Amino acid sequence: MKRIFLALFITLFALVLSNSAFANSVSLTLESVHQDHYYFSINGSSSFSTMMCDSYDNHIYFGETWTATKSPFLAGIANGLFGPTKALDYKAAGLIYKSMITGSLTTLQAQWAIWGLFSTNAQHSSGFVTYGGATTDATYLTLAQTASNSAYSGLVLYTPLNGKPGCGPQEFIGYSPVPEPGSLTLLGTGLIGLAGIVRRKFVKV
């Protein structure tokens, strides 16, 4: 009986962690685009998720569905569309995206700057000049050199399965708020309390 209880406890704890700590495959469907925000259905959900594209030279169309690997941002870089050699560019892109979320950059400033990090074609486009892409990139590439890992907390990377630069669906950056440490502590305390209750019931039986 103790073994059954232990197995159930470990399974519950693993399920709690799996959504935020590890990479997993998801199905993405492009539903709409507004001011360079892409709205997706993930795994058929009717609640759409907002993301931003980092791959200017890849293309998708409305209603298209494909499989992507969803990873915590920093962990996903090694297997990202552009590979680990572009790690600093990815980090700059993550900081740019977060600055957009906080309102320090407009959506269009962020989008053109992120595109410019990974594409010379984007750098030669009028939008890159209009929205100050070169200046933004230089600023955030410098910041990325010393930024702590916590600066990327909550960011998620969606990399298309078998994708390549210029071939296949685009790669996207998203955001999923991370539970506060106090919330995780409370969750752990709750699980321990639940374990005690279940154990006492087993003892009584």
Q: Per-residue pLDDT averaged across 182-191, rounded?
A: 47
Residue 190 identity (one-letter amino acid): G
Q: Which of 62, 74, 89, 98 lies closest to 149, judged by CA?
A: 74
List CB contacts of 17: < 8 A, sequence separation 6 or more. none
pLDDT of residue 65: 95
**With 0-12 CB in 10 A as exposed, 13-18 as middle and 19+ as buried, what is 177?**
exposed
**With 0-12 CB in 10 A as exposed, 13-18 as middle and 19+ as buried, what is 100?**
buried
Residues 122-139 pLDDT 10s: 999 999 999 999 999 999
Q: Which of 1, 4, 8 lies closest to 194, judged by CA?
A: 8
**What are the sequence ranges of the domains in the chain?**
2-204
Q: Per-residue pLDDT averaged across 63-78, rounded?
A: 97
SS (H, E, C) 11-30: HHHHHHHHHHHCCEEEEEEE
Q: What is the mean pLDDT of the chain?
A: 84
List CB contacts of 135: < 8 A, sequence separation 6 or more. none
Residue 20 has pLDDT above 90, yes or no: no
Tokens 């993301």 -> residue: 51
Residues 147-167 pLDDT 10s: 999 999 999 999 999 899 998
H runs (alpha helix) in 46-180: 73-76, 87-102, 107-118, 120-123, 126-130, 133-144
68 or 15, greater pLDDT = 68
Q: Per-residue pLDDT averaged across 34-51, rounded?
A: 89
Residue 173 has pLDDT above 90, yes or no: yes
Q: Per-residue pLDDT averaged across 16-21, rounded?
A: 46
**CA dist., res. 16 & res. 22, Å (int):** 11
pLDDT of residue 203: 52
List CB contacts of 96: < 8 A, sequence separation 6 or more. 105, 110, 113, 114, 136, 140
Residue 6 has pLDDT above 50, yes or no: no
Q: pTM value?
A: 0.78
